[in-house]
């Protein structure tokens, strides 16, 4: 590991976002955006919902492309030049809409199962079709970009 | 005595039922494997979160907040309790649902005031039709537990707790033992949670707890910030445990049904063959006696 880098581990509750060397990271905390670089003193801070930035590094300590993630509540810990970020959710900013639409879909499906009256059923069904079309729209938009 | 046709129909019926129980057995085992695979993915995160919380509690034993406390006398169950009950959506799973319901009712008996929050259609129907105090707007099916589902449930419980509606929140779920029994219905206090749960187990943790950390802004704020994620993790593991227990219980129930069907088929087949033999014997007797009487007539 080059001298100007530190080990960065970003863990969301259901997947590992990044695990490797990094040059710097900017994290939304209760005290505002906090920047962390190599050889930071040992610290534990509370993460609040916001946008997290980090610059990954290659083996020689050269900067790679800057990454962003939309994060929820959690905490960070710096210990012996290792930064660990534990956050409930971390999403690619591009995929935020899609993730939200997917959650809405799951919710609508559950409501559909629980609908007791015709009216509730119709409403849940409408909600489901809205969610599905939103998912389709975000996916089409993303594919066009690539 | 039943005719051979009736027994034949009966055998066919048992065969058809056996097809269903066989299929249900297979479905349950697949569902269980799937749930465990998902749970496996979230384990590292929640383990790390727990470790960090343990570290914070280890340095500050006398912290106190609405969310956690070391000195709650668990023998006094009274007060206003919210009880999160995790049941299944369907029956046909042995005593799985009954065990959970029994444990939930026992807990409600000890409370001064209670309100049930039900997960799973079976429990929902049971508690509602019998007029228990159930939160009407809390509707969750026990489909494959996901983190999102756990998040929704945990946030709803936390909100109710924050509105000061309850003194304590319990969760009643089934602990998955993986063995051949149905698993035990257990209850745990979700909020306020016990710091003693975080007592370091061995020396390895004690050494990591001794490392010096700066807390920004302070330990209380950091802890308050992870109460949500901690609850989500806890709820998720309770859901997964219950789900696996349910599928396991169903597998065993279906296995027993299969065995019963086999026994039934064996005895039915025996009876069928008996009847068939009897019919054949009778026919032969009739023919031969008929032939004999014909012979006698000729001789005369």
User: Could you tell me the residue ranges of all domains in chain A?
Assistant: 6-91, 94-145
Q: What is the percentage of chain B residues whose pLDDT exceeds 70? A: 89
**pLDDT, tens digit, 9 for 90 and up, residues B102-160:** 999 998 888 888 899 999 989 999 999 998 999 888 888 888 888 888 988 999 999 88
Is residue B263's pLDDT more than 90?
yes
Residue B136 contacts A, CB cutoff 8 Å = no
Q: Give B207's pLDDT tier (boundaries 50, 70, 90).
A: very low
Per-residue confidence (pLDDT) for residue B100, from 0 to 100: 93
Assess: ipTM above 0.90. Answer: no
Residue B13: pLDDT band by 50, 70, 90 thresholds? very high
The pLDDT value given to residue B203: 44
pLDDT at B149: 87
Q: Give the Cα separation of B88 and B155 in Å (integer).
A: 21
Query: B200: pLDDT confidence band, cut at 50, 70 and 90?
Result: low
| pLDDT for res B72 | 63
Among A111-120, B80-89, B97-106, which stretch is predicted with the lowest mean pLDDT? A111-120
Could you tell me which chain B residue has the CA closest to the CA of A43?
Answer: B214
Decide if B226 and A46 are in contact by the 8 Å CB cutoff.
Answer: yes
User: What class does CATH assign to A6-91?
Assistant: mainly beta
**Bridge partners, A35 (sequence order):** A26
Q: Which residues of B touch A77 (CB under 8 A)?
A: 52, 213
Nearest residue in A to B229, CA atom: A88
Per CATH, domain B4-22+255-299 is 2.60.40: no
Find the CB nearest A103 among B141, B148, B233: B148
Domain borders along chain B are 4-22+255-299, 64-198+217-253
Distance CA A16, CA A87 (A): 10
Instruction: State the pLDDT at residue B65.
Output: 77
**pLDDT on residue B282:** 93
What is the pLDDT at residue B73? 60
The string of pLDDT tens digits covering residues A86-126 is 998 888 887 778 888 888 888 888 888 777 778 888 888 88
pLDDT in tens, chain A (146 residues): 678 899 999 998 888 899 999 999 999 999 999 999 999 999 999 999 999 999 999 888 888 999 999 998 899 999 999 999 999 888 888 777 888 888 888 888 888 877 777 888 888 888 888 888 888 888 887 777 65
| Percentage with pLDDT > 90 across chain B | 36
Residues counted in chain A: 146
Within 8 A of B45 by CB-CB distance, chain A residues are 11-14, 86
Would you call B148 and A77 a contact, using CB atoms and an 8 Å cutoff? no
Closest chain B CA to residue A87? B229
Between CA A97 and CA A104 the distance in angstroms is 11
Contacts of B143 in chain A (CB under 8 A): 110, 113
Test A43 with B224 for CB contact under 8 angstroms.
no
Supply the pLDDT for residue A109. 84
Contacts of A100 in chain B (CB under 8 A): none
Asked if A30 lies within 8 A of B146 by C-beta distance, the reply is no
Determine whether B290 is exposed, middle or buried from the number of CB atoms within 10 Å of its CB (0-12, 13-18, 19+): exposed
Query: CB contact, 8 Å: A19 with chain B?
Result: no
Q: Which residue has the tokens 């710091």?
A: B195
**B141 — contact with chain A (CB < 8 Å)?**
yes
Phi, psi (degrees; rounded to nearest 5) at B92 = 55, 40
The model's pLDDT over B165-199, given as tens digits with 9 standing for 90+, comes to 888 889 999 988 766 666 778 888 888 877 777 76
Q: What is the DSSP string of B77-118?
A: --SEEEEEEE--SS--BTBHHHHHHHHHHHHHHH-SEEEEEE
CB contact under 8 A, B216 and A44: yes
> Residue B11 has what pLDDT?
93
pTM, rounded to two decimals: 0.80
Separation between Cα atoms, residue B142 and residue B118, nearest integer Å: 10
pLDDT at B87 over 90: yes
Distance of alpha carbon B79 from alpha carbon B71, whole angstroms? 16
Using a CB-CB cut-off of 8 Å, the residues of chain A touching B216 are 29-31, 34, 43-45
Q: Which residue of B has its CA nearest to A79?
A: B213
Structure confidence at residue B9 (pLDDT) = 93
pLDDT of residue B202: 52
> Would the CB atoms of A45 and B229 count as touching at under 8 Å?
no
Average predicted confidence (pLDDT) for chain B: 85
Considering the domain B64-198+217-253 in this protein, what is its CATH number? Answer: 3.40.1380.10
Place of tokens 């069928």: B272
| A57 lies within 8 A of chain B by CB | no
Whether B229 has its CB under 8 Å from any CB of chain A: the answer is: yes
Chain A 105-144, CB below 8 Å of chain B: which residues?
106-107, 110-111, 113-114
Q: Where are the beta strands (DSSP E) in chain B?
A: 68-69, 80-86, 113-119, 168-175, 184-191, 193-194, 214-216
Confidence label for B85 from pLDDT (cuts 50, 70 and 90): very high
Cα–Cα distance, A58 to A23 (Å, whole number): 9
B202 at A interface, C-beta within 8 A: no
Q: Which of B52, B141, B211 sits opposite A114 (nearest CB)?
A: B141
User: A60-86: string of b/e by CB count within 10 Å (b at 16+)?
Assistant: eeeeeeebebbbbbbbbbbbeeebbbb
CB of B224 less than 8 A from some CB of A: yes
């Amino acid at each position: 590991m080059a001298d100007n880098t530190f080990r960065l581990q970003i863990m969301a509750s259901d997947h590992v976002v990044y695990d490797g060397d990094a040059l710097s990271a900017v994290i939304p905390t209760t005290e505002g955006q906090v920047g962390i670089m190599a050889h930071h003193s040992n610290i534990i801070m509370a993460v609040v919902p916001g946008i997290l930035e980090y610059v990954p590094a290659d083996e020689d300590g050269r900067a790679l492309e800057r990454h962003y993630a939309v994060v929820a509540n959690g905490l960070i810990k710096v210990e012996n030049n290792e930064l660990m970020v534990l956050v409930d959710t971390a999403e690619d900013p591009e995929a935020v809409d899609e993730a939200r639409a997917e959650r809405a879909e799951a919710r609508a499906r559950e409501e559909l199962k629980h609908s007791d009256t015709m009216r509730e059923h119709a409403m849940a069904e409408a909600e489901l079709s809205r969610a599905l079309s939103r998912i389709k729209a975000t996916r089409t938009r993303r594919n066009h970009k690539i | 005595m039943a005719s051979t046709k009736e027994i034949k129909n009966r055998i066919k019926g048992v065969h058809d039922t056996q097809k269903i129980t066989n299929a249900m057995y297979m479905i349950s085992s697949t569902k269980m494997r799937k749930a465990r695979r998902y749970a496996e993915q979230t384990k590292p995160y929640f383990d790390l979160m727990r470790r960090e919380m343990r570290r914070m509690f280890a340095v500050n034993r006398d912290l106190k907040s609405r969310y956690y406390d070391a000195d709650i006398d668990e023998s006094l169950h009274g007060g206003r309790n919210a009880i999160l009950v995790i049941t299944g959506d369907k029956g046909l799973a042995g005593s799985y649902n009954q065990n959970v319901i029994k444990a939930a009712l026992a807990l409600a008996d000890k409370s001064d005031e209670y309100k049930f929050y039900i997960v799973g259609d079976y429990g929902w129907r049971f508690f509602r039709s019998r007029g228990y105090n159930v939160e009407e707007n809390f509707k969750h099916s026990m489909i494959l537990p996901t983190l999102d589902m756990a998040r929704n449930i945990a946030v709803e419980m936390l909100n109710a707790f924050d509105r000061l509606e309850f003194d304590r929140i319990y969760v009643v779920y089934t602990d998955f033992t993986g063995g051949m029994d149905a698993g035990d219905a257990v209850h745990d206090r979700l909020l306020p949670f016990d710091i003693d749960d975080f007592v370091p187990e061995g020396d390895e943790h004690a050494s990591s707890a001794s490392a010096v950390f700066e807390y920004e802004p302070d330990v209380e704020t950091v802890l308050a910030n992870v109460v949500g994620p901690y609850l989500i993790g806890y709820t998720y593991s309770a859901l997964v445990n219950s789900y696996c227990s349910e599928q396991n219980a169903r597998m065993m129930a279906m296995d027993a049904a299969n065995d019963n069907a086999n026994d039934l088929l064996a005895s039915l087949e025996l009876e069928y063959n008996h009847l068939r033999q009897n019919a054949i014997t009778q026919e032969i007797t009739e023919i031969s006696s008929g032939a004999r009487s014909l012979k006698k007539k000729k001789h005369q």
